Amino acid sequence: MAVGAELHARGWSLATSSNYSVTLDRQPLRLLVTASGKHKDRLTEADFVTIDDQGRAVADGAPKSSAETMLHVVLARAADAGAVLHTHSVWGTLLSDRFASQQQLTISGYEMLKALPGVTTHETAITLPILPNTQDIGAMAQDLERLLATAGQKSEGSPPLSAFLIHKHGLYTWGADLDAARRQIEALEFLMECEGRRLMASV
Amino acid sequence: MAVGAELHARGWSLATSSNYSVTLDRQPLRLLVTASGKHKDRLTEADFVTIDDQGRAVADGAPKSSAETMLHVVLARAADAGAVLHTHSVWGTLLSDRFASQQQLTISGYEMLKALPGVTTHETAITLPILPNTQDIGAMAQDLERLLATAGQKSEGSPPLSAFLIHKHGLYTWGADLDAARRQIEALEFLMECEGRRLMASV
Amino acid sequence: MAVGAELHARGWSLATSSNYSVTLDRQPLRLLVTASGKHKDRLTEADFVTIDDQGRAVADGAPKSSAETMLHVVLARAADAGAVLHTHSVWGTLLSDRFASQQQLTISGYEMLKALPGVTTHETAITLPILPNTQDIGAMAQDLERLLATAGQKSEGSPPLSAFLIHKHGLYTWGADLDAARRQIEALEFLMECEGRRLMASV
Amino acid sequence: MAVGAELHARGWSLATSSNYSVTLDRQPLRLLVTASGKHKDRLTEADFVTIDDQGRAVADGAPKSSAETMLHVVLARAADAGAVLHTHSVWGTLLSDRFASQQQLTISGYEMLKALPGVTTHETAITLPILPNTQDIGAMAQDLERLLATAGQKSEGSPPLSAFLIHKHGLYTWGADLDAARRQIEALEFLMECEGRRLMASV
């Protein structure tokens, strides 16, 4: 809940956008996900829903979970995520549009990259895939599964995939636990702000 | 009151600018409006005035309501607003000037648009009319009534009008209740920041 | 003290820069001024000094008042200031440099101008003189007296001078009381951010 | 600890980046350094480690000190630092890259420079050396010792070296005590933001 308030204060989770999840159990899969349409600066326990591997609420009468719940399920299952954070920031949105035709954003050479999993030197390039936006979350979940499968194959030598962008929509990142995911979101938002301002300065 | 403090903290309501209202009753119309000239970071109950459908304070000895009170009355009456928020932000001010000759600002393709009423997909374009600024609030109120009447006619298929800009002045948005209006103001300020920075980056 | 903390939080009073004063008495002149070299986010009563019309501390053993104390004295005496705020902001610094050769910055057409004294319509142009910076505060105080005398003569019809910039240094504004000065500083910082970003966008 | 929270809030110490130290004793040398990998917004006493002049923890079972501990040791020993602050800010990162080929960033003419040690007038130019980034902290510590030795020789007349940048990594500054280092970091971040925005505006 404190994480929601902080991300909101930074302007990364305005207007009830964004959603977060934590993996509670793996056998069977249980995720705690933010409910739909909540202001992120004042989350309470009642604003989280426990869901199963189909994205369905486990308890009767639970509030509707976030529309993008199935993306969290895919990340927990196929990327072994312990926690997932999704933000809508200005720089993430702008870069997802600027690099939309390349379908990916590459960031390299920054010390801050070391906050991401598997990165031990600034002499690293990470690539954030940019998925097209769609209101068909089932289709987007399939895109994501494909992405994770492909990334798994070619990841030898390079850091594992730990984040992606959705076009004019926002950023997803996941980690072993909430602390890791929070560290990654701060690092990625920082890096995107650097890249965004760098591109503006070099017009 | 907390909303005022937050909008002030974000720099959207500096220097006693901005005003807010909530519709208390409809038969007869009663609005609770911010009093004139108050710093928005420390509003108390005494800084709100209950007014009628002519913008007059209902109680004797009440403080003067905001100069732009009649715009709130028009929105409550003709747009069925349950709550109205008006902010003065840097990006709103800049975009209202940049697009002044077109008399409108169009924003499209962002996921964040879904925070606005009637928007269910990012594949939407919304149009914020830009009214000329004037110190004759009566004239501006008439402009606004005309705008709402016109918007009502052509809104089939497209989302209803839920916000407008005043040139080099600021943004008005209204919703069913204060939560909706707050969600909309955050979404619109976010979208205007995206558009403003995008235009700068593509000089 | 709360004003200091807020201006620091907004990044307008970093690194012990800035100073503030309030006029306590006029016969004889007594000002309460911030002591030299204090961090503005944690001012206590002990960080203010009462000074006379020569800028000397009234009490023995008082801390040294701000180096720019004499500017506050001139403003209290010759501009009838009840409170003076001086900030070092990024936008004020940049604009003071960009317009240094013109020796003034003119801002016009914004609704926010109405937060300044004597301004009743957005159809107003205000001019902020830009003084050269110098470590000789006595000389700067004389420049300021001259400026106030000149402004007094030509001010018929236009709003009175209520602020000026020092080159690559910062902004001074003064008003009838601390609330007025705070309203003005917020309005001027807002307006300078608008102008600064507008200039960048129109490169 | 409050300093950590504030630097984090300003976005200068995101994602467990940055590290801070205070010199506890000089004979023998003892530094209190932030432990590795801690979020800077919630430091507690347990997140600091006391180390000796080899960068080794003095107490058994202490947490691992920051990877860059040896830079703090060099600064305490060769630059007589009483406190060292290291931040990762967007503007510092961008400028370290923009001026990488010159291997230094020069800033001049700002009143804010007076917050740095040995600066008594705005008519001063300070030079921040830009070290290449490397994961070999031993090599970087040697670079730094060389830098400090060279700076010591040529510093007559000009202010002493009190800060340097690491390429695409961040800023180090040091002072007599924590208050001085904090004043310097605020001044330098302010100055870098001014220079960064100035360069963008003059494209």
For each successive 10 residues of chain A (203 residues), what is the average pLDDT? Answer: 67 74 90 79 77 88 79 92 91 94 95 92 94 93 93 73 95 92 92 89 55
- D171-182 pLDDT tens trace: 999 999 988 998
D12-38 pLDDT per residue, tens: 777 667 788 889 989 899 998 888 777
Convert the pLDDT of each residue in D39-54 to its tens digit: 766 677 777 889 899 9
Q: What is the pTM of this model?
A: 0.90
Token duo for residue D186: 């605020």
* Distance from C-alpha of C146 to C-alpha of C74, rounded to nearest angstrom: 10
- Check residue C107 and report its DSSP letter: E
Q: Please give the full DSSP string across C1-37, using - where no structure is assigned.
A: -HHHHHHHHTTSS-TT--EEEEEEEETTEEEEEEBTT
Residues of D with CB under 8 A from a CB of A: 11, 14-17, 39, 41, 88, 90, 93-94, 97-98, 133, 135, 166, 168-170, 196, 199-200, 203
Nearest-by-Cβ selection for C122 from B168, B200, B203? B168
Query: What are the structural domain ranges in chain B?
Result: 2-202
Q: Find, among B31, B120, B136, B109, the residue nearest to B74 by Cα.
A: B31
Contact assessment for residue C111 and residue B88, using Cβ atoms and an 8 Å cutoff: yes
B36-40 contacts: CB < 8 A, separation 24 or more?
A: B36/B63, B36/B64, B36/B65, B36/B66, B36/B67, B39/B8, B39/C179, B39/C182, B39/C183, B40/B4, B40/B5, B40/B7, B40/B8, B40/B13, B40/B16
Q: Which residues of C touch D85 (CB under 8 A)?
A: none
Which secondary structure element, helix H or strand E, spans residue D95, and what is its range? helix D90-98
pLDDT at A203: 44
Instruction: Summarize the annotated binding site of C for Zn(2+) as residue ranges.
Output: 86, 88
Instruction: Label residue D154 by pLDDT band (50, 70, 90).
Output: low
- C-alpha distance from D6 to closest chain C C-alpha (Å): 9
**D197 to C97: CB separation less than 8 angstroms, yes or no:** no
Interface of chain B toward chain C, CB-CB under 8 angstroms: 11, 14-17, 39, 41, 88, 90, 93-94, 97-98, 133, 135, 166, 168-170, 196, 199-200, 203
Residue B60 CA to residue D31 CA, distance in Å, equals: 67
Give how far Cα A140 sits from Cα of A21, A56, C116, Å.
18, 18, 52
Which of B15, B133, B196 is nearest residue C183 as measured by Cβ atoms? B15
Higher pLDDT among residues C44 and B112, named by residue: B112
Give the architecture (CATH level 2) of C2-202.
3-Layer(aba) Sandwich (3.40)
Is the Cβ–Cβ distance between D109 and C94 less than 8 Å? no
Average pLDDT over residues B81-92: 91
Q: How far is A89 from chain D (nearest CA, A)?
A: 14
**CA end-to-end span of chain B, whole Å?**
40
Structure tokens at A136: 């068909």
* pLDDT for the residue numbered B203: 44
Instruction: Say how far apart CA B103 and CA B167 lie, in whole Å.
Output: 9
Shortest alpha-carbon distance between residue C39 and chain D (Å): 8
What is the pLDDT confidence band of residue B59, given thresholds at 50, 70 and 90?
A: confident
Using the beta-carbon criterion (under 8 Å), do D193 and C98 form an inter-chain contact? no
Give the mean pLDDT of C10-16. 70
Q: Is the pLDDT of residue C124 over 90?
A: yes
Percent of chain C with pLDDT over 90: 56
Mean of all residue pLDDT scores within chain C:
86
Phi, psi of C92 (to 5 degrees): -60, -40
Q: In whole angstroms, give the CA distance from residue B119 to residue C122.
A: 34
Q: Answer yes or no: is pLDDT of B110 > 80.
A: yes
Picking from C79, C93, C80, C111, the residue whose alpha carbon sits closest to that of residue C187 is C111
Q: Annotated binding residue at B39?
A: no
- Chain D contact set for C66 (CB, 8 A): none
Least confident of A121-130, B32-41, C160-169: B32-41
User: Interface partners of D (3+ CB pairs, < 8 Å)?
Assistant: A, C
- Minimal CA separation from A3 to chain D, in Å: 12
Listed range (A50-59, B106-115, D6-15) with the worst mean pLDDT: D6-15
Query: Which residues in chain A have their CB less than 8 angstroms from residue D200's CB?
Result: 197, 200-201
Looking at the complex, report in whole angstroms how far the Cα of residue B31 sits from the nearest Cα belonging to chain C.
Answer: 24
Chains touching B (3+ CB pairs < 8 Å): A, C
The H-or-E segment that residue A34 falls in is strand A29-34
- Stretch B38-48: mean pLDDT, rounded? 73
Q: How far apart are CA A79 and CA C158, in angstroms?
A: 66
Strand ranges in A132-182 using DSSP code E only, listed in sequence order: 163-166, 170-175
Q: Tell me if D93 and A110 make a contact (CB, 8 A cut-off).
A: yes
| B8 annotated ligand-binding residue | no
* pLDDT, mean of residues C41-55: 81
Residues on chain B touching A11 (C-beta within 8 angstroms): 10, 190
What's the pLDDT band for C154 if we cut at 50, 70, 90?
low
- Find the DSSP H helices in B10-136: 69-78, 90-98
Judged against a pLDDT cut of 60, whether residue C203 lies above it is answered with: no
Partner-chain residue, chosen from B110, B183, B189, that has the shortest CB–CB distance to A16: B183
C-alpha–C-alpha distance, residues C73 and C29, integer Å: 8
What distance in Å separates residue D69's CA from the closest CA in chain C?
A: 26
Residue B104 has pLDDT above 70, yes or no: yes
Indicate yes or no: CB of C39 within 8 angstroms of CB of D179. Answer: yes
Provide ipTM, 2 decimals.
Answer: 0.88
Rounded to an integer, what distance in angstroms lies between the CA atom of residue C77 and that of residue C56?
A: 15
pLDDT at B155 over 60: no
